[in-house]
Amino acid sequence: MPPDLQSALDKIIQHLPLPFYKDVGFWLSLAIGSFGLLFAILAWTEAKKAKTAATAAGRTVKLQTVTIELSEIGQKLDRVQPGIRFNEARDLLADTSRRVHRATSPFSKEPKLSEAIEAAKQAVQAAQNSLKSVRPTEPGKEAEAPDAVYYGIETDCSAISSCVADLIGLFEKQAFDFGDGNVKS
């Protein structure tokens, strides 16, 4: 290569900046950017875990609320005594039906709960049918057979109470997830 061409090329190279990868600022920016990306990924995974935990906590609270609601139903049914009047029994069973349906409807499609929920609903329906069979034909004649309403619904109230107790146990197990499914044999 002729010397004047070489000197011209040397002058051009002196005026060109260094390649970006030879600049310390590039490597410093790359390191800071990489750490930023790493921390963003870690924050995202932690946020995802936090969302899962919050969802599980919300479900646990809902299950415990339903358990309390079902306990109240069971206690009311256990207090049914001889001498209960038809209108009191009708109101009790209507309230029981409404509360059982409202408390269990969010869980009716869950395989572990659906059978017990359906049994409770059927028990309530059976009690309402039993009550209809002892309905006084005339309001004044209810006093002629004072315990007819009680004996007409007593067995059904016990059945509802048993179904509710089963549901309470299942809801408590769901709420506290004892990890039975995670145990390896």
pLDDT of 84-133, one tens digit each? 888 899 999 999 999 999 998 888 888 888 899 999 999 999 999 999 88
Q: Which segments in the chain show pLDDT lower than 70?
A: 1, 139, 141-142, 177-185
Phi, psi of 8 (to 5 degrees): -65, -40
Residue 91's pLDDT is 94
**124 within some domain:** yes
Locate 116 and state its tokens: 């017990």
Put simply, whether the predicted model's pTM sits higher than 0.75 gets the answer no
Estimate to the nearest angstrom the gap between the alpha carbon of 91 and the chain centroid: 29
Residue 181's pLDDT is 52
CATH number at residue 100: 1.20.120.330
Q: Which domain holds residue 142?
A: 58-176
**75 within some domain:** yes
Q: Among 124, 135, 82, which Cα is nearest to 100's?
A: 124
**6 within some domain:** no
- Eight-state DSSP code of residue 181: G
Estimate to the nearest angstrom the gap between the alpha carbon of 84 and the chain centroid: 37
Residue 173's pLDDT is 85
Q: What does the alpha-carbon distance between residue 176 and residue 154 come to, in Å, rounded to a whole number?
A: 33
- Eight-state DSSP code of residue 17: P
Give the count of domains, the chain: 1
**149 within some domain:** yes
**62 within some domain:** yes
Residue 177's pLDDT is 67
